[in-house]
Amino acid sequence: MKFRSVRLSMALSAVIAATPMLIAAPGVSVARDEGMWTFDNFPLQTVNEKWDLSLDQAWLDRVRMAAVRIQGCSASFVSPEGLILTNHHCVVGCLQELSSAETDYVKNGFMVGTREEELRCPGQTAEVLTEIVDVTDRMLTAGMGMEGQAFAQARQGEVARIAQENCAGDPKFNCQVVDFYRGGRFALYKYRRYEDVRIAFAPEFQAAFFGGDPDNFNFPRYALDASFLRAYEDGKPVETPNHLKWNANAPAEGDPTFVVGNPGSTSRLLTMSQLERLRDQQLPVTLIQASELRGRFLTYAASGEEAKRVSVDPIFGLENSFKAQYGQHQALLDPAFMNTKRQEEAQLRAAVEADPALKQRIGDPWAELETIQAAARDLYLPYRQLAASAGGGSQLYAYARAIGRAAAQNAAGQLTAERKAQLEGALGAETPIYVDMEEIRLGYWLSKTREYLTVDHPQVKALLGKESPEGLADRLIGGTKLTDPAFRVAALSMTPDELAAADPLIAWVMANDAAAQAVASDWNQKVTIPTAQAAERVAQARFAVYGSNIYPDATFTLRISYGEVKGWSYRGVDVPAFTRIGGLYERHTGAEPFNAAAGFLAAEGRINKDLVFDFTSTNDIIGGNSGSPVINARGEVIGAAFDGNIHSLGGAFGYDGALNRTVSVSTSAITESLRVVYPQPRLLRELGVRG
């Protein structure tokens, strides 16, 4: 088994295909706990007044220095010896890689008695944001008066110079120039980087993901979605005096909470016409098609033990992304949500209209985007079926396309040795291929392509010839040699003619690829590029009107959001903010995914059932925030964010304080687990709590 770290890791942005990073919703009203704030622009006064606190920049610096960015997730130092708290679903890939036929760390957890037994997670790094330097002037000066390619090169050159000056190729540092407010502001983010990160503790999978898909994005929850890593350097644990103090006591309802982490991507400046196209076209067709694939997978999974095993991971990924997009769609279908967005847009447009100089500079990007949406409505289905979703997720299709394109580039003298070596590495890797799943994916994609583009579409005719979607898929997947890594690497040195003769799948993909690329290019020219240009002017208008009193869209860089512990109410149902450990045993049925982990079942007689397990708060977070420390006003860690409720998924487009909730696992549940379920006295000592 292998589980991707999705949920709140970075997986929600796929739907917003045509729209790059934009700046955020107004935030001019602070009645709601909205915002993913940068550390140099946090509304300290608002927060201090709201909860009668006296937070200051020193407090912010302290929590910033304890925050850790890892691959696709967030985390924090929680001891002076480099111990890192994050989510279990952020380390499950590492656990999978470290497991063997004898030792299944995913199923059984990772529990060792000594620090020496902690195992390195391949490829895992940890980064601490040590410095934020405004470089807006330098960046705006670079490329001034230039256009097109020259402009882009000048900007890229300046980025490289800034990085070189500040990090100088030192592998201990990572320098990144971040573009906020779409060119309104630039900042150098300098990270201290650790490249030896080891797994220190993980619970059983079933403890971390109790409730599975039915509970995903829902609450109440009983998930111990927490694990510990440790940063090492020169073979020794890193000294981390700037860590968060562990507070094993759960917060109370209404307590202020701060979530510090790396939200991946938001699109809060999409215009109404863009949101409406997403709502009326892109999301419905995406949900409808994903549902059919889900049904195909589920029946396949029920056909036998091996089928179940190989489809667990794809079904998890599919259901997770289905639910994320379902939540986004629900937000866009909510009239109140859309009215807020409409008012915000009207307000901004009025402010532009009232300022002739600004109006002169900005023009009317809203009208342009509306025109672009008309084109997008016409082009979307062909683009989706023939380009964006081509292959339906089949790995063999992806190999065939990569090989075919490389051969074409090679024939045109455009394949660099570097690129070829890179491809050889990727294609030569041993990756398990599940032929049944490949056939389902390819057949499903062909079937939906015929259905949505119709039988009479020229490209549908070219793809299918005289075969049925499923018949063709079975023939191509059954006949390809691409399951063999050696063949894949060898294929990379063949000419297009040799490839066409050597493999039916590659031949077929190559025969249809020019048309697919033409469709993608059409979409790019008529939708992606003009959207980016118009969206940039919307963002500039926003920055001109509101300045940095608003927070920028998420960029997978460090942010802090404030909020409070709070449940919510929806359609007459009140959802309390807390669950308690005893609830796990009540929810346990024994049937997957509501089968409590063996460790928890064994500990039932000894565990304190009154302790808080998971809790919800009003913090504004999104994918990428997984593993973020939840911090109280004293700067102590009281939990790790691991999910949002279903309403929070609308956070891609805007924050709704009445409904959006962050879901976190409490330090009280983690502590109790380390005491009673998976006894780890060494970690408890390190966290400064009694064993």
Cβ closest to a copy of itself, residue 218 vs residue 340: 218
Question: Please, what is the minimum distance in Å from the beta carbon of residue 308 to a copy of itself?
Answer: 11
Cα distances (Å, whole numbers) of residue 674 to 33, 204, 224, 671 = 33, 12, 11, 5
186, 134 Cβ separation under 8 angstroms: yes
Site of tokens 């402010």:
351
| Least distance (Å) between residue 443 CB and a copy of itself | 8
Nearer CB in complex with a copy of itself: 333/490: 333
Q: Which of 636, 631, 619 is nearest to 8 (CA)?
A: 619
Minimum CB separation from a copy of itself for residue 463, in Å? 12
The least CB distance from residue 292 to a copy of itself, in Å, is 4
Q: 3 or 444: whose CB is closer to a copy of itself? A: 444
Distance separating alpha carbons of residues 449 and 463, to the nearest angstrom: 10
Is the Cβ of residue 211 or residue 657 nearer to a copy of itself in the bound state? 211
Which parts of this chain interact with a copy of itself (CB under 8 A)? 211, 213-215, 218, 220, 280-281, 284, 287-289, 291-300, 302-303, 326, 329, 333, 378, 440, 444, 450-451, 454-456, 464-468, 470-471, 571-572, 587, 589-592, 594
Distance CA 317, CA 306 (A): 18
Output the smallest distance, CB 280 to a copy of itself, in A.
Answer: 5
Least distance in angstroms from the C-beta of 222 to a copy of itself: 11
**Contact criterion met (CB below 8 Å) for 535 and 22:** yes
Nearest-approach distance from CB 612 to a copy of itself, in angstroms: 18
How far, in Å, CA of 489 to CA of 482, rounded? 9
Q: What's at 630, amino acid-wise?
A: V
Q: Which amino acid is at 306?
A: E
Minimum CB–partner distance for residue 395 and a copy of itself (Å): 19
Q: In whole angstroms, what is the distance from residue 391 CA to residue 300 CA?
A: 19
- State which H helix or E strand residue 641 sits in: strand 636-644
Closest CB to a copy of itself among residues 32, 294: 294
Q: Decide whether 233 or 370 has the Cβ nearer to a copy of itself.
A: 370
* Residue 9 or 282 with smaller CB distance to a copy of itself: 282
| Nearer to a copy of itself among residue 66 and residue 476 (C-beta) | 476
CB of 325 to a copy of itself, least distance (A): 11
Q: How many helices (H) and strands (E) does the chain have?
A: 27, 21
CA 71 to chain centre: 10
211: left (phi over 0), alpha (psi -120 to 50) or beta: left
C-beta of 215: minimal distance to a copy of itself in Å? Answer: 6
Answer yes or no: are the C-beta atoms of 651 and 82 closer than 8 Å.
Answer: no
Query: Which of 556-572 are b and which e, b meaning 16 or more Cβ less than 10 Å from the residue's Cβ?
Result: bbbbbbbbbbbbbeeee
How does DSSP classify residue 547?
Answer: G
Select 519 or 638, whichever has its Cβ closest to a copy of itself: 519
List alpha helices for 302-364, DSSP H: 305-333, 335-353, 356-362
Least distance from a copy of itself to the Cβ atom of residue 299, Å:
4
Question: Given the complex with a copy of itself, which of 97 and 213 has the nearer CB atom?
Answer: 213
Upstream peptide bond of 220 is cis (omega within 30 degrees of 0):
yes
Beta bridge partners of 179: 186
Task: Measure the CA–CA gap between 627 and 240, rounded to whole angstroms.
Answer: 18
* DSSP state for residue 70 in the 8-state scheme: E
Minimum CB distance to a copy of itself smaller for 285 or for 351:
285
Going by DSSP bridges, is the β-strand pair 227-233/196-202 parallel, antiparallel, or unpaired?
Answer: antiparallel
